[in-house]
Amino acid sequence: MSKVVICDHPLIQHKLTYIRDVNTKTKDFRQLVDEVATLMAYEITREIPLEGITVQTPVAEAECKMISGRMLGLIPILRAGLGMLDGVLKLLPSAEVGHIGLYRDPETLQPVEYYLKLPTDVTERELIVIDPMLATGGSANACIDSLKRRGCTQIKLMCLIAAPEGIKAVQEAHDDVDIYVAAIDEKLDEHGYIVPGLGDAGDRLYGTK
């Protein structure tokens, strides 16, 4: 069974409070999502393997560590996932970025794929799927399905807020995908929104309605 990691660092939880607040305006919302994404990237990379390297300091040789040449790929789910992308790239500037366009049909809540452009050598990369909201889990599962159909095997999922229903859905469909979240909320409402959540992540990031 995959693991679910709640990124409960005080800075993340503090910023998430402002992100949830209906009175937080678009510009601040975007900034805060960016900051939390950076902090979560710190958590999600905790287990990246290191290799030894010797460097010469001004004083002596030092036995040091470096991240071994890993191939990483970031896959934001359009459009709200884009709000977290730059924050993650601040810590992982060499990662290649792929994009998947998915929207939830408002009637059926089923995800519809409308765009896909993946990193080079994608099957060899460790991939982080990025989306602020894990609600029914339909979008995340559709994205992961799409990646696996193309031969990807090393996939993590990073979300700001998850509903228990979404976590269950991803775990049932993909028990090899670890899930990183800043919070697990209470439930979904009848429209598939996370309660209490933060509303529509895409609209709040981009000022649309």
Q: Which residues bind ligand URA (CB under 6 A)?
A: 80, 133, 135, 192-194, 197, 200-202
CB proximity list for 196: less than 8 A, separation 6 or greater: 20, 185, 186
Q: In one letter, which amino acid is 88?
A: V
- C-alpha to C-alpha distance for 157 and 174, rounded to whole angstroms: 11
Write the interaction track for ligand PRP spanning residues 72-101; mark x where CB under 6 A is met and - where it is not.
Answer: -----xxxx---------------------
49, two tokens:
């393997």
131 near ligand PRP, judged by CB under 6 A: yes
Residue 201 CB, nearest approach to ligand URA (Å): 4
Q: How many Cα atoms within 13 Å fall on the side-chain side of residue 202?
A: 14
Query: Which window, 8-16, 118-126, 171-179, 198-206, contacts ligand PRP (CB under 6 A)?
Result: 198-206
Choose one: 52-60, 113-121, 137-145, 176-184; the region binding ligand PRP (CB under 6 A): 137-145
Selection from ligand URA, ligand PRP, none that 146 binds (CB < 5 to 8 A by kind) is none
Q: How far is the CB of 155 from ligand URA (least distance, A)?
A: 20
Does 183 bind ligand PRP (CB under 6 A)? Our answer is no
Nearest approach, Cβ of 207 to ligand URA (angstroms)? 14
State yes or no: residue 158 binds ligand PRP (CB under 6 A).
no
